[in-house]
Amino acid sequence: MMRLMLLLLTASLLGGCSAMDKFLVRASTPLIEGGIHSLNQETDLQLAEDSIPTNLNVLQGMINIDPENASLRVYAAQAFYGLGYGFNEDNRPRRAINFYQRGLQHGLKALEINGYTNLRYGSMEELEATLQKADEDDVGALFWTASNWAKWIDQNRDTPESLIELPKPTALMQRVLDLDETFYYGGAHIYFGVFYGSRPPMFGGDFKKSEHHFNRAREITRNELLVVDLLQAQYLSRQKMDREDFHNRLSKIIEAPEDLNPDIALLNQIAKRKAKMLLNEEEKWF
């Protein structure tokens, strides 16, 4: 595996783009899936953070060899989102913004390769018409594009021109919800839980819809993904000024067993760290 990865990286650095290089890239795709699964099982946050840049360099080398490979672009979008949200957003926000932007670019490119062009700068009417053509094979690209896009907007929320774009990633995520509500641990439901829970009703919020989506995400994940409660506390409980619910949900995350679900151990460790940080803000917010 390491020899194959080194071969791919060397070929990319030398500018290789032969048919054989592309064949090697496509033959190695299952290794990426295995690497993602292994990373998700990691419980040491520092080790996980240290390993991602190396893996991204290899992935970028593969993209240099096969730039029209939509699957590689989706993996890159996922990786940049993970770097931004999991390891930079809380203490290095400018760096996180850069990662979300790079993830968005890869996601949009993946969709473009699949035939969906001008999604960012076209009209909403054009976007919605285009999305009706999307099917289950497009779900990954739609999800990670929307996730990076919405996070980039959230981190630039003081900039009016970025907020104007919010209906577009929301439309992409709605299409994910229509096509496969279970994708990435019910991620589309988590998105809409935040979407409806982070604003007061007079500005488009809907607390009942938010709670419905968070509950559905918990059902899909058998209540084993701690990020669901984390985001419900951070956005819905805080918006409702429900201090007791905020405190109880975050405390429950911190006290959750370390082996709650080994396949998503990294996501749950990230949730535990973020829960501690949010609890430190409780006195200020309530």
DSSP state of 115: T
Q: What is the pTM of this model?
A: 0.92
Q: How confident is the model at residue 57 (pLDDT cuts 50, 70, 90)?
A: confident
Q: How confident is the model at residue 28 (pLDDT cuts 50, 70, 90)?
A: confident
- Find the mean pLDDT for residues 134-163: 93
> What residues does each domain of the chain span?
1-67, 68-180, 185-286
pLDDT confidence of residue 1: 45
- Is the pLDDT assigned to residue 67 strictly greater than 70? yes
pLDDT confidence of residue 15: 53
- Is the pLDDT assigned to residue 13 strictly greater than 70? no
CA distance 254 to 248: 10
CA distance 101 to 258: 32
3-state class of 12 per DSSP?
Answer: helix
- Find the mean pLDDT for residues 251-276: 97
Task: Classify residue 131 as exposed, middle or buried by CB count within 10 Å of its CB (0-12, 13-18, 19+).
Answer: buried
CA distance 233 to 285: 12
- Is the pLDDT assigned to residue 6 strictly greater than 80? no
Residues 8 and 28: beta-carbon distance below 8 Å: yes
3-state class of 92 per DSSP?
Answer: coil
Provide DSSP, 188-257. HHHHHHHHHHSS-GGGT--HHHHHHHHHHHHHHTTT--THHHHHIIIIIIHHTT-HHHHHHHHHHHHHS-
Task: Classify residue 72 as exposed, middle or buried by CB count within 10 Å of its CB (0-12, 13-18, 19+).
Answer: buried
> Residues 70-108: pLDDT tens digits?
999 999 999 999 999 999 999 999 999 999 999 999 999
CA distance 110 to 243: 42
Q: How confident is the model at residue 232 (pLDDT cuts 50, 70, 90)?
A: very high
- Is the pLDDT assigned to residue 14 strictly greater than 60? no
3-state class of 69 per DSSP?
Answer: coil
- Is the pLDDT assigned to residue 62 strictly greater than 50? yes
- Find the mean pLDDT for residues 225-244: 98
pLDDT over 90 percentage in the chain: 79
CA distance 245 to 232: 9
Specify the CATH superfamily of domain 68-180.
TRAP transporter T-component (1.25.40.920)
